[in-house]
Amino acid sequence: GGNKMKLGDWTPIVCFKHDGSVHRSWNKTLVINEDKESFVLGNDNALVYEADGRNWRVKEPAITIFFKNKWFNVIAMIHEDGIKYYVNIASIYKEIDKNICYIDYDLDVSIKPNNFVKVLDEHEYYLHSNDMKYSRNLDFLIKNALYEVLDLADAKKFPFDNDKIIEFYNTFLKMKGDK
């Protein structure tokens, strides 16, 4: 409909937990690219609100990539010493009232500029999986997404492609400048 987000729109991102509670949100990110597989946003100094009431500003610019058919999203942070990737294993996003919304499934992957890869929050995953009763099918989707991320990161394939991220970052700077 006419209410869909489009290139150049600023949009909030809202992240939920499986039980429907809000986990974290970002006040504004700029829609910079969309194709049949992904939706790409850029931000710098966005305000992040945590579930416990704290909030903080993102210190470095970031490109966030949401996929239309993959159970993860990726935040590529542009640092002086290179690009740091932070991957959220998460549901496929939905657009609700011009907000990008997704459910966070605890497991995260961090990839440093030197390509050091680390899987985070496995303990949290097992706790939430029990508490919130993740189904076997959901567990399968989550584990599958994790293996896919590790394979893509290992092969430096999109979205773990520094050149592509820099290209998106330059697009962000240009579009932001026009605002």
Interval 37-95: pLDDT, tens: 999 999 998 999 999 999 999 889 999 999 999 999 999 999 989 999 999 999 999 99
**Which residues are annotated as catalytic?**
24
CB 150 within 8 A of CB 117: yes
**CB under 8 Å to 121, separation ≥6 — which residues?**
106, 107, 108
Q: Where are the alpha helices (DSSP H) in the chain?
A: 122-131, 136-155, 162-177
In this prediction, residue 4 carries a pLDDT of 80
CB 50 within 8 A of CB 64: no
Taking the C-alpha atoms of residue 85 and residue 80, their distance in angstroms, rounded to an integer, is 14
Bridge-partner residues for 62, per DSSP? 43, 77
Taking the C-alpha atoms of residue 97 and residue 137, their distance in angstroms, rounded to an integer, is 29
Q: For 128, phi and psi rounded to 5 degrees?
A: -65, -35
Instruction: Read off the pLDDT of each residue in 139-167 and give the average, rounded to a whole number.
Output: 97
Instruction: Read off the pLDDT of each residue in 115-135 and give the average, rounded to a whole number.
Output: 95
pTM for the structure as a whole = 0.94
Omega prior to 159 cis, within 30 of 0:
yes
